[in-house]
Structures are given as structure tokens and as C-alpha cells.
């Protein structure tokens, strides 16, 4: 009952959110390619876009592309001449994403880098690709703490880091959860709490993707 209500409320608000045909087609192609249905919900996608606009983002980094659904939301929030780099481990996911990004006419704005973010993130640091105005962490949860540390090296004062899936239906409360992502998320939440260069808060969410949440982190 509760899940049904959350989903209905999400449907009720869809017009306000404005998920368009390009985003819908992207999701359809993700499904066709049998990618796991773990992209952000439309309201979270729109939220990411709004944050990009609020910080007047010209450079965005995303860690975990999947089929490019969140990528499109984010890239549409960039200012004129802005760029987004998105990191993805799975070649197949990157290929699906590339097509979805082309359909969204964002191929000149978005660069997908295929590889393990544990390699590609330090590469970004080495080549001086930063600082980014907005960073969205959404890849393997085990790697979150390291992605957070590299993110700090790719940030300036005022960079916003958003980390997805910090609640996991409440599994985050369990030190011995069956959810394989939880230990990584718990380490990450602790690392953020301890880090003096940032100020952060979790936002819990409900909707078509169940009960989860994301952390909003400001580098200051
Ligand atoms: N941001 C996407 C969802 C990402 S799902 C959206 O909301 O639409 C997580 C993605 O991270 C998957 O595509 C997975 O292949 C990728 N991933 C997992 N481990 C990774 C790693 N070590 N480096 C880069 N990407 C990784
Ligand atoms: C999973 C990953 C995600 O990024 C997400 O939003 C939901 C689920 C997962 O790996 O299970
Ligand atoms: Mg996620």
C-alpha cells in the first residue's frame, strides 16, 4: 500500500517535473538493453538539474553513468559552454548511454569515460580536469569513500557533492545488512561526518524507487 501510494504521488507530480520524450526514450532503451532499473527517479533527476542551475554549474562530474538517464538531467542544467564528464565501468552501459546522450543532442557536452572510477578519478586529478562545480556519486557503493576523497581534490569552495543511495530502505542502520552496498555506504557516511572541509545532510526519499536517500554535501 505504501509503495503504491509513493508511486502514485510520483505520477501525480510528473507534469511538474517535466520528464520529456527524450528522457522517456532513454529509459525505454535502458530497459530494452536489459540494464538494471536503478537510475534515479524523475524527481531526483530534476533535483540534480536544479542544483546544477542553482550553482551555475559549468563543469559537472558524474560517477556511475548506467544508461545516461541522470546524465541527461544533469547536463541540461549546465550553463552555456558547460561540460559534463561521466565515468562508467561497463562498456555496454556506456554504449547505451552514448546513444541516449546523442538523442538528447548532448554529445558535444557530455564525455563518457569507460573504466573503473578507482582509476579514472585519480586520472582526472592528475590531468587537472577539475575543479568541478557539481559532483554526483552513484557508482558501486563499496567505492564511495574513495570517490568522496578524490572528489575533494576535484572541488573548489562551493562545490556541491551529491551521493546517491545513502539510506537503502533503512538497511543503512544495520551493520550486518544482507545488502552488499551497505558497508560501503556506512563507511562513506562516517567519512563525510568526520571531514572538516564539508558540511552535509542526508535527504530521505520515497517514490517509484522505494525508500532511499541522497547526501547533499557542500565543500567549504
Ligand atoms: N547514475 C545512473 C545510475 C548509475 S547505476 C542514473 O541515475 O541513471 C551505477 C553504475 O555505476 C552502473 O552502470 C555500474 O556499471 C557503474 N559502476 C559500478 N562500479 C563502477 C566503477 N568501479 N567505476 C565506474 N562505474 C562503476
Ligand atoms: C543500486 C544502485 C543505485 O545507484 C541505485 O540508485 C539503486 C540501487 C544497486 O546497486 O542496487
Ligand atoms: Mg543510485
Cell numbers for 191: 567519512
Band (pLDDT 50/70/90 cuts) for residue 131 is: very high
Query: Is ligand 2 within 6 A of the CB of residue 169?
Result: no
Q: How far apart are CA 189 and CA 127, in angstroms?
A: 28
How far does residue 14's CA lie from ligand 3's centre (Å)? Answer: 19
CB 165 within 8 A of CB 214: yes
Residue 133, preceding peptide bond in cis (omega within 30° of 0): no
Q: How far apart are CA 33 and CA 96, in angstroms?
A: 7
Band (pLDDT 50/70/90 cuts) for residue 196 is: very high
- Enclosing H/E stretch for 156: strand 155-164
Torsion angle (degrees, nearest 10) of CA 112, 114, 119, 125: -20
Length of the chain: 220
Q: How many domains does the chain have?
A: 1
Between strands 198-207 and 132-137, the pairing is unpaired
For residue range 137-176, what is the model confidence (pLDDT) as tens digits?
999 999 999 999 999 999 999 999 999 999 999 999 999 9
Read off the CATH number of the domain in which 72 is found. Answer: 3.40.50.150
- According to the model, what pLDDT value does residue 113 have? 98
Q: How far apart are CA 73 and CA 83, in angstroms?
A: 13
Neighbours of ion ligand 3 (CB under 5 A): 138, 164-165
Closest ligand 1 atom number to CA of residue 136: 1
How far does residue 209's CA lie from ligand 3's centre (Å)? Answer: 10
- Which structural domain range is residue 81 located in? 3-219
- In the numeric block, the cell 538539474 is attached to 49
How far does residue 81's CA lie from ligand 2's centre (Å)? Answer: 31
Cell numbers for 19: 520528464
Ligand nearest to the CA of 73: 1
At a CB cut-off of 8 Å and minimum separation 6, what does 57 contact?
A: 51, 77, 78, 79, 82, 133, 134
Cα distances from 57 to residues 101, 118, 140, in angstroms, run: 19, 24, 25
Residue 1 has pLDDT above 80, yes or no: no
- According to the model, what pLDDT value does residue 98 have? 98
Nearest to 30 by CA among 94, 96, 78: 96
Q: How far apart are CA 44 and CA 164, in angstroms?
A: 10
Mean pLDDT along residues 15-36: 98
- From the number of C-beta atoms within 10 Å of its C-beta (0-12, 13-18, 19+), residue 65 rates as buried
- Going by alpha carbons, the residue nearest to atom 2 of ligand 2 is 38
Mean pLDDT along residues 72-91: 98
- Going by alpha carbons, the residue nearest to atom 22 of ligand 1 is 116
Amino acid at each position: 500500500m505504501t509503495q503504491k501510494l509513493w508511486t502514485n504521488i510520483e505520477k501525480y507530480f510528473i507534469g511538474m517535473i517535466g520528464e520529456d520524450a527524450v528522457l522517456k526514450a532513454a529509459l525505454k532503451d535502458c530497459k530494452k538493453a536489459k540494464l538494471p532499473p536503478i537510475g534515479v527517479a524523475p524527481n531526483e533527476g530534476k533535483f540534480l538539474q536544479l542544483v546544477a542551475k542553482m550553482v551555475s554549474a559549468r563543469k559537472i562530474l558524474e560517477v556511475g553513468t548506467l544508461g545516461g538517464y541522470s546524465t541527461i538531467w544533469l547536463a541540461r542544467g549546465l550553463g552555456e559552454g558547460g561540460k559534463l564528464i561521466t565515468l562508467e565501468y561497463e562498456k555496454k552501459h556506456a554504449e547505451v548511454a552514448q546513444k541516449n546522450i546523442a538523442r538528447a543532442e548532448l554529445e558535444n557536452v557530455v564525455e563518457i569515460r569507460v573504466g573503473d572510477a578507482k582509476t579514472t578519478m585519480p586520472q582526472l586529478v592528475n590531468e587537472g580536469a577539475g575543479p568541478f562545480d557539481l559532483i554526483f556519486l552513484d557508482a558501486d557503493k563499496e567505492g564511495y569513500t574513495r570517490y568522496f576523497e578524490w572528489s575533494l581534490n576535484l572541488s573548489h569552495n562551493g562545490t556541491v557533492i551529491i551521493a546517491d543511495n545513502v539510506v537503502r530502505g533503512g538497511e543503512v542502520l544495520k551493520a550486518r545488512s544482507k545488502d552488499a552496498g551497505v558497508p560501503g555506504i556506512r563507511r562513506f557516511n562516517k567519512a563525510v561526518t568526520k571531514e572538516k572541509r564539508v558540511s552535509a545532510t542526508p535527504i530521505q526519499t520515497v517514490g517509484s524507487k522505494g525508500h532511499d536517500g541522497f547526501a547533499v554535501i557542500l565543500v567549504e
